[in-house]
Structure 1
Amino acid sequence: MEKKLNGVFWCVGVLGLVTVVLTVHAITCEEAVQTLMPCKAYLTTPAPSPTLACCQAVASVNASASTTQSRRDLCECFKKKAPVYGVDPQKAKQLPGLCAVQVPFPCDPSVDCQHML
């Protein structure tokens, strides 16, 4: 199940959001996935809505994105991992809106990560 959460994150990467840049280095794909673990239940089960902890994680990853390349990298990461871990693409698309987090591109597995801003 923990692996399913990783896939969730393509959205947050494609929601996903996003690559997070810390003080010294850009967050890795695995670090972003770990940050988004509170979203696992919503993205991989019939849970009707994300938890507050999930939304806080989404906002944190999104707010930490600082460059076009970092967002592209995280987008690619989430696109690759989501299907492997059983993330529901429809729920991934809905997550930013449900959490009231504006992301710079759609959370959609068909998005072209290399052409996003």
Structure 2
Amino acid sequence: MEKKLNGVFWCVGVLGLVTVVLTVHAITCEEAVQTLMPCGAYLTTPAPSPTLACCQAVASVNASASTTQSRRDLCECFKKKALVYGVDPQKAKQLPGLCAAQVPFQCDLSVDCQHVL
């Protein structure tokens, strides 16, 4: 009986540690860009609206940026990557609204990422 209880406590402890590790992990720039690939057609072509997959990607990245520092890092990332990928700045501004995502900063190349909360 005691061995079973020790095993249960060990399992609970491991699950708790995994939860803490997953919670602390902030999404990286490359992970965010990869996740947002379904938005590429909308952001770089005359496509009139984002796809459902794009909006799901926006929601996923938005949820993953759970700290001020991770949001600032993603802001800087998106500003740099937008230039590399040829993102239409107007479409980038419109994307969160079209996907009904409450993003904590404006998707604009002129935004000062150090003021992102």
TM-score by length of structure 1 reads 0.79
Q: Is the 8 A contact 1:38 1:54 kept in 2?
A: yes
Q: Residue 10 of structure 1: CA displacement?
A: 42
Q: Residue 5 of structure 1: CA displacement?
A: 51
- Distance in 2 separating the partners of 1:79 and 1:7: 49
Residue 70 to residue 81, structure 1, CA distance change in 2 (3 Å): same
- Distance in 2 separating the partners of 1:80 and 1:4: 53
For structure 2, the residue ranges without an aligned partner over 5 or more in a row are none
Residue 31 to residue 93, structure 1, CA distance change in 2 (3 Å): same
Q: Which structure has the bigger radius of gyration?
A: 2
Report the 3-state secondary structure (helix = DSSP H, G, I; strand = E; otherwise coil) of the residue aligned with 2:18: coil
Cα RMSD of the aligned pairs, angstroms, is 15.4
Name the residue aligned to 1:33.
33
Q: Residue 66 of structure 1: CA displacement?
A: 1.0
Q: Is the 8 A contact 1:8 1:82 kept in 2?
A: no
Q: Residue 23 of structure 1: CA displacement?
A: 3.6
What count of residue pairs does the alignment treat as equivalent? Answer: 117
Identity of aligned residues (%): 95
For structure 1, the residue ranges without an aligned partner over 5 or more in a row are none
Q: Which has the higher contact order (CA 8 A, sep 6+)?
A: 1
